Amino acid sequence: VACVYKCSNCYSVYNKGAGDTTNGIAAGTLFEQLPAPYCCTICEADKTSFKKIEKQYWVYKPFNSA
């Protein structure tokens, strides 16, 4: 199960796979590694406004696959 962090004010998402180029955060940076003064690029809410959201990945497998 992977996760992203969603701003509870504007619902923008921090995804470690993309990072945050606006704030100079490289792709692959974990949310926990973001600096304390990190803020949302959309509404400028602080880091504590983000909530962890788990993403479920579904794998499609046809019924007749061999």
> pLDDT-derived band of residue 27, with 50, 70 and 90 as boundaries?
very high
pLDDT-above-70 percentage for the chain: 82
Higher pLDDT, 3 or 8: 8
| pLDDT tens-digit map of 34-60 | 999 999 999 999 999 999 988 766 556
What's the rounded Cα separation, in Å, for the pair 29 and 40?
Answer: 15
Residues 6+ apart with CB under 8 A from 59: none
Q: What is the pLDDT of residue 54?
A: 85
Mean pLDDT of the chain: 87
Q: What share of the chain is helix, strand, coil (3-state, %, to 5)?
A: 15, 25, 60
pTM (two decimals): 0.73
Give the tokens for residue 25: 């955060």
